Amino acid sequence: MILHRLTIRKRILIIFLMVAITGGVVQFIVAGRYLQLATLEFYQHHLETDALLVSTAFAEPLVEYLDGEDSSSISQVMGTLQQEVGHNYLIVDRNNRVMGYTANTGYEQVDRVPDTPELIQARSEHIGADIRPNNQGEATLYVAITVSYENNPLGTFVLSEPMQPAYDEVTRRYLELAGATVPVLALVIAASLWIAGTISRPIQSLRNSAMRMAHGALDTRIQVHSQDEIGELANTFNYMAGQIETLMHTQRSFVSNAAHELRTPLMTLKLRAEALSEEALPADEQETYLREIRQEVDHMAELVSSLLMLARIDEGRHQPNGTVTDTVATLHDIMRHWRIEAETKGLRFTAQIDPDLPDLPMSPNDLRVVLDNLLSNAIKYTTRGEVRLSVSHRKDAFTLEVSDTGVGFLPEQGTHLFDRFYRSEQVRGQYAGNGLGLSIVQSILNHYGGRIEAHSAGIGQGAVFTLRLTPAP
């Protein structure tokens, strides 16, 4: 369809015009026909009234003529009437013999007229009418009336008048009608242009904004002027633009953070490698550098695997499925390693695990990642005292809690702990880490519909991480 290739503006204009013109033409034809009929009927009716009025004037002269007198009185009456009322006249007897006529009507050489339709009609209905060309070819209306005297029909009186004035009147009315449709059409064009504008202008600006965004201006927003569908579209666009901007911002800072995190250990590696290549390096120093190199490589490997894990979760490749069936045993298994770590560091490690825990709605691997992160943090950020794990199940919900007596954090830091690469000032430079562990924990939990919260009474007051998990409905 060609319409689809046009702009909305043109399409609206064309459709509006088509509807308006079709409507106008139909209206014009219907109304025009009524006007024409009414005008012609009125004209004919007018002449018939005239004919009725004047025909009576002929009764007496006709009687006299039929009695044998000459036709002078008929011609006299006709002359007077033509002067006063107008029209042309003809009068015939019952056998269509011409008895009188007004000048220049074409009856000069005629004795007897043929049976024209109006004469036939007048004989049966008293009055008859017909429209046909006269002898000069002009359309003419003929009205015939039977003239009677004392109820005896004497003859027929015919009044004729050219139709041209009536036709002129009809033409004038048609022109008036056409004239009235011009302002309507103008109104339709203006209205369609306006409507097209209200639709196409915002779409145009939407398009421009989308284009600007595509070229990198992520802060582009549309001004919303209306509350209709287009306004809603603009609002949605702005919402989308905001989301994209945040996403891009997060992405960019993520990449620069990751690069930054990798650069430091790479620098260390480079320096240590250079030092090792020096000759005559004492054996103990050599040993130290090699240990540091191993540590940095471990650190980098950990960072890279954390990054890969996050990428997998972000890309939606990490499927939240599986269940821990022997919950208590699995927890004890995970704990074993961390109990040794804690005790090696001189910390107490306590656990309170409900003995009859049901199946836990999380894959064993994910549970291990989550607890490894929380427990390693608790041990890492605690120098004295205790690390504790408790797991309970009430009303279908699991609660896992990891608490310690370590460095703690300020209340305002609580919400940031789960941000990627976030590390509090208390720990930065003091403890190794990359700030990705807790964000991995949160991403995994999000997939299972779980929640995690961090609480601390303040710096040096220890920390509590509480995790809640309910089976998916």
Q: Which amino acid is at 388?
A: R
- One of 39, 75, 209, 377 touching Mg ion (CB under 5 A): 377
437 lines the binding site for ligand ADP (CB under 6 A):
yes
200 binds, among Mg ion, ligand ADP, none (CB under 5 to 8 A by kind): none
What does the alpha-carbon distance between residue 137 and residue 164 come to, in Å, rounded to a whole number?
A: 12
409 lines the binding site for ligand ADP (CB under 6 A):
yes
Residue with Cβ nearer ligand ADP (133 or 460): 460
Residue with Cβ nearer ligand ADP (381 or 398): 381
With b for 16 or more beta-carbon neighbours within 10 A and e for fewer, the 64-103 pattern comes to ebeeeeebebbbebbeebeeeeebbbbbbbeebebbbbbe
Q: Which amino acid is at 195?
A: I
338 lines the binding site for ligand ADP (CB under 6 A):
no
- What stretch of H or E contains 367? helix 364-380
Query: At its nearest, how many Å lie between ligand ADP and the CB of residue 252?
Result: 20
| Helices and strands in the chain, H and E counts | 10, 10
Q: How far is CA 189 from CA 9, 12, 129, 193, 252, in A?
A: 11, 10, 47, 6, 51
Residue with Cβ nearer ligand ADP (28 or 422): 422
What does the alpha-carbon distance between residue 63 and residue 59 come to, in Å, rounded to a whole number?
A: 6
Per-residue contact flags (x/-) with ligand ADP for residues 367 to 386, judged by CB under 6 A: ------x---xx--x-----
407 lines the binding site for ligand ADP (CB under 6 A):
yes
What does the alpha-carbon distance between residue 122 and residue 132 come to, in Å, rounded to a whole number?
A: 16
Residue of closest CB approach to ligand ADP: 433
Query: At its nearest, how many Å lie between ligand ADP and the CB of residue 439?
Result: 6
Residue found by looking up tokens 């950020």 in the block? 381
118 binds, among Mg ion, ligand ADP, none (CB under 5 to 8 A by kind): none
378 binds, among Mg ion, ligand ADP, none (CB under 5 to 8 A by kind): ligand ADP
Residue with Cβ nearer ligand ADP (92 or 438): 438
Q: Mapping DSSP to helix (H, G, I), strand (E, B) and coil, where does residue 2 land?
A: helix
Residue with Cβ nearer ligand ADP (51 or 370): 370
- One of 117, 433, 449, 471 touching ligand ADP (CB under 6 A): 433
Q: Mapping DSSP to helix (H, G, I), strand (E, B) and coil, where does residue 149 land?
A: strand
Supply the DSSP symbol for 139.
Answer: E
Q: Select from 460, 462, 461, 440 the least CA-distant residue to 452.
A: 440
- List binders of ligand ADP among 242-271 (CB under 6 A): none
* 102 and 54 Cβ atoms separated by less than 8 Å: no
Residue with Cβ nearer ligand ADP (149 or 422): 422
436 lines the binding site for ligand ADP (CB under 6 A):
yes
- What stretch of H or E contains 101? strand 98-101
423 lines the binding site for ligand ADP (CB under 6 A):
yes
Q: Six-digit token pair at 104? A: 């220049």
Q: What are phi and psi of 472, to 5 degrees?
A: -60, 140
Query: At its nearest, how many Å lie between Mg ion and the CB of residue 381?
Result: 9
- List binders of Mg ion among 406-465 (CB under 5 A): 437
Longest dimension (CA), the chain: 170
Stretch that binds Mg ion, among 187-195, 257-265, 375-383, 414-422 (CB under 5 A): 375-383
Q: How far is CA 422 from CA 37, 253, 401, in A?
A: 92, 12, 22
- One of 434, 442, 450, 469 touching ligand ADP (CB under 6 A): 434
- One of 390, 422, 449, 471 touching ligand ADP (CB under 6 A): 422
Query: At its nearest, how many Å lie between Mg ion and the CB of residue 379?
Result: 10
Quick count: other Cβ atoms within 10 Å of Cβ 174? 16
By the criterion CB under 5 A, which residues form the site for Mg ion? Answer: 377, 437
By the criterion CB under 6 A, which residues form the site for ligand ADP? Answer: 373, 377-378, 381, 404, 406-409, 417, 422-424, 427, 433-439, 463
